[in-house]
Amino acid sequence: TALPRDGAFVASRAPPSPEEKKRARNQENSASLRRGLVVGARVCLTKDRATRGVVVAPVYHGTWAVEYADGVRRNQRSRDLTVLPRDGTFVASRAPLSWEEKERARARENVSLQRGIGVGACVCLTNRQATRGVVVAHMHGGRFWTVQYAGGEKRNRRPGELTVLSRDGPFVASLALPLSKGTWQRRARLAQLTSDGADVQEPPRKRGRRTEASSKKELNECPVCLDELSEVDDIVRLGCSHEYCGECFAELV
């Protein structure tokens, strides 16, 4: 590009030639060269010495292309490689898993994907197949799924509690299971606080001296869901005389 002749003009240094660029790369890779990382070197991963391959080409500064026994090439950083001595037999291993392969492996281990649970799936409860609904959302990365039932009510369920129904044939959603007494009371209190325009958080419980009547009432309730233990079939009684309903105790443990 031609520059105008008005004003001062100062020439700069010439651009580096290919030989100078090559020498600069060699100086940058001096650490790799001191370690013996060259094309044809037999290397293994520093953190996994069983994963072995052969260096086939430099990629860019500090990174080398390593070819493994299955013909797959992986770009490895020089600090992640250890050069093996040439004495003795050398057997290359399979290439380590790439990021995409690791993601697919984690997806296969996902309980939700194994059971076919996803948004829009028709599901029922595993221990109560008559209770049916449709999955509308997921929470905490698929650890919980929101199921909507016929009455418009929604419940959060774990993947192990749901079973996917086949899509052939008609599907009729059922009503949701009734809430436990403790959950219903908590929701009623929150609704009352919200309607009054107050803070949504529940007020702190008053601490006072326990009377004999209040202690007996607390002993007859599950401290987690506040359900009457007289109405629960499965009761867990600990050595410290505390009692829980079986479902709440299983979640705590």
Q: What is the predicted pLDDT for the residue at 29? A: 62
Taking residue 2's Cβ as centre, other Cβ atoms within 10 Å add up to 4
Q: Mind listing the pLDDT tens digit for each residue in 140-160?
A: 666 788 899 988 888 888 888
Q: What is the predicted pLDDT for the residue at 11? A: 87
SS3 of the chain: CCCCCCCCCCCCCCCCCHHHHHHHHHHHCHHHHHCCCCCCCEEEECCCCCCEEEEEEEEECCEEEEECCCCCEEEEEHHHEEECCCCCCCCCCCCCCCHHHHHHHHHHHCHHHHCCCCCCCEEEECCEEEEEEEEEEEECCCCEEEEECCCCCEEEECHHHEEECCCCCCCCCCCCCCCCHHHHHHHHHHHHHHHCCCCCCCCCCCCCCCCHHHHHHHHCECCCCCCEHHHCCCEEECCCCCEEEHHHHHHHC
Rounded to whole angstroms, the Cα distance separating 214 from 139 reads 38
Q: What is the predicted pLDDT for the residue at 197? A: 54
Q: What is the predicted pLDDT for the residue at 54? A: 92
Q: What is the predicted pLDDT for the residue at 155? A: 85
Q: How far is Cα of residue 155 from the mean position of the Cα atoms in its chain?
A: 22
Q: Which of 66, 92, 99 is nearest to 80 (CA)?
A: 66
Indicate the pTM of the whole model.
0.35
Residues of the chain with pLDDT under 50: 200, 202-203, 206-218
The residue written with tokens 């990629």 in the block is 59
